[in-house]
Amino acid sequence: MPHFYFHTENGDCIRDDQGEDLPDVEAAREEAVTVLGEILRYRGAAFWETASFSVIVTDADGRTVVSVTARASDAAPEGWTLQETGE
Amino acid sequence: MTTVSPPSRITTLVEKLSLRDQVAPDEIEALKDVLDPPREIRSGADIVKEHSHPLHSTLLISGFSARYSSLADGARQITELNVPGDFIDLHSLLMKQMDHGVVALTDCVVASAPHAKLIHLTERHPHLTRLLWLDTIIDAAIHRQWLVAMGRRSGLGHLAHLVCELFTRLSAVGLNDGQTFHMPLTQTVLSDALGLSTVHVNRLIAELRREGLVRWTNPQIEILDWPRLAQIAEFDPTYLRLHSQPV
């Protein structure tokens, strides 16, 4: 099974030196989202200090496989408008 | 480094029980009589298998073990950590079938107490029986604290609570070296105990270090700032019942 490392970054990078064996990249994608969600659950107001939190997944050779980022902003995401609800 | 001389079979158990109430000499003898000779269990091996029907309960003499339940997808949740002096499945005397397993997290030394002998002990030593009953009640109290931590504490508070609990339980049986204790548990084990991902546990350990609360050099943990650590954990040791009061 391939080995993946899950580094976290919010201005303060915590390297994952242990990593874990997962069947494939799909499983690594799933794990990255789980980890991000789990950490954000407890961040609360502190999340706004850096307003961004990333999980970066690298493989055994140190190459980035995927990354997932949550961002906070006072503005809506680009291009977003509130749609009228209606029939 | 802590050097712990090889414990006799019941030293830590008697030490722990004595914190709660006086243990009479004949009760100590009765505990000795109930135990089979010590045996070694390798790290990673089951001491008690899930769903098994044990005919004896097991006393942990040295090492660390964990109660756990397995899920269908291979995941594991640890529901309590055991330290030396713990009767790891005393309740199997009455429960008969195990609803969970107990795994050795390090090389362990254990001794079995055959159920027939334990039944005999309960018939002859009501006070000692109450002390052992109290020990299973405290197991339940530990589970309650873990449930509260799992459901309602922050990640940092949860990890801090576990560190406070282990330090307190190990110190109670003299297995600390000042503010330092030996906790040879991998991040995977911590992650299974906290119900958090190893990545998150990694971050939380880094946070405890950065805040100057602990010096965490696996397998040693040194508590640098107990008052603040206990405050973050909201640690109240009442549930461990480490005060002396007749039972």
On whether both B168 and B220 belong to a single domain, the answer is yes
Q: Answer whether B60's CB lies under 8 Å from B83's CB.
A: yes
Contact: B197, A31; criterion CB under 8 Å = yes
- Give the minimum alpha-carbon distance from A74 to chain B in angstroms, rounded to a whole number: 26
Angle value at C-alpha B175, between B212 and B203, nearest 5 degrees: 30
Whichever domain contains B189, its CATH number is: 1.10.10.10
> Which sign, positive or negative, has the C-alpha torsion A28, B44, B221, B230?
positive
Query: For position A87, what pLDDT does the model report?
Result: 61
Q: Which residue of A has its CA nearest to B152?
A: A42
Q: Answer whether B60's CB lies under 8 Å from B88's CB.
A: yes
Q: Does residue B246 lie within any of the structural domains? A: no
Query: Which of A43-47, B189-193, B195-199 is least confident?
Result: A43-47
Residues of B with CB under 8 A from a CB of A: 154-156, 187, 196-200, 202-203, 206
Tell me the C-alpha to C-alpha distance, in Å, between residue A32 and each of A48, A62, B10, B28, B181. Answer: 21, 16, 46, 53, 33
Q: Which residues of B touch A39 (CB under 8 A)?
A: 155, 199-200, 203
Q: Does residue B1 lie within any of the structural domains? A: no
- Model confidence over B32-63: pLDDT tens digits? 999 999 999 999 999 999 999 999 999 999 99
Closest CA to B242 of B129, B114, B85, B110: B85
Q: Answer whether B27's CB lies under 8 Å from B128's CB.
A: yes
Q: Answer whether A27's CB lies under 8 Å from A2's CB.
A: no
Calpha distance B25→B22 (Å, rounded) = 10
On whether both B95 and B211 belong to a single domain, the answer is no
Burial of B116 (0-12, 13-18, 19+ CB in 10 A): exposed
Domain count, chain B: 2
Instruction: Answer yes or no: is the ipTM higher than 0.85.
Output: no
Q: Which residue of B has its CA nearest to A13?
A: B203
- The ranges assigned to domains in chain A are 3-71
3-state secondary structure of B229: helix
Query: For position B1, what pLDDT does the model report?
Result: 42
- Give the minimum alpha-carbon distance from A17 to chain B in angstroms, rounded to a whole number: 9
| pTM for this prediction | 0.90
Residue count of chain A, please give it. Answer: 87
Tell me the C-alpha to C-alpha distance, in Å, between residue B92 and each of B28, B79, B141. Answer: 22, 16, 18
| Domain membership of residue B231 as a residue range | 155-240
Q: Does residue B245 lie within any of the structural domains? A: no
- Model confidence over B67-126: pLDDT tens digits? 999 999 888 999 999 999 999 999 999 999 999 999 999 999 999 999 999 999 999 999
